[in-house]
Structure 1
């Protein structure tokens, strides 16, 4: 599933989990993600992407009016997602 979502400043998605992997890319605004009962808190800005593993309990809060793209699914053979950064300018053409 792929979706584009908008949320207003202050909107909080209280503690929840997902059954599949979730990949979130922030287009606009700021998102605070709290994991492990608040022991791991990170803020994501436009251009940032974060992963949520299946069963990972977390809370998401919009610190500003925010727009994100969310992709979720099991992946191929249920393998873990691996995030890679590829420099397109230096890739073989």
Structure 2
């Protein structure tokens, strides 16, 4: 698998933005169920990446991927800090 396309389209601002928004949703907005956070972050990532790099199908897909990656990063970091085993 060639990861060059992923590294060329990687935008750290989008990833960090989604990570921060996901954290805020998780900790502050109790009326949003946790199961909807990945979907919200995928949509947000697609929108943010489209703004950052210009709207195209490719930037939307990579933005959604970065939004979902931020969800995974949060879970991995939380498990590492809290030292809890995977479910």
TM-score range, shorter chain: under 0.3
**Structure showing the higher helix proportion among its residues:** 2
In our comparison, the structure showing a higher alpha carbon Rg is 1
Name the structure, 1 or 2, with higher relative contact order (CA <8 Å, separation 6+). Answer: 1
User: Under a length normalisation based on structure 2, what TM-score does the superposition of the two structures give?
Assistant: 0.22
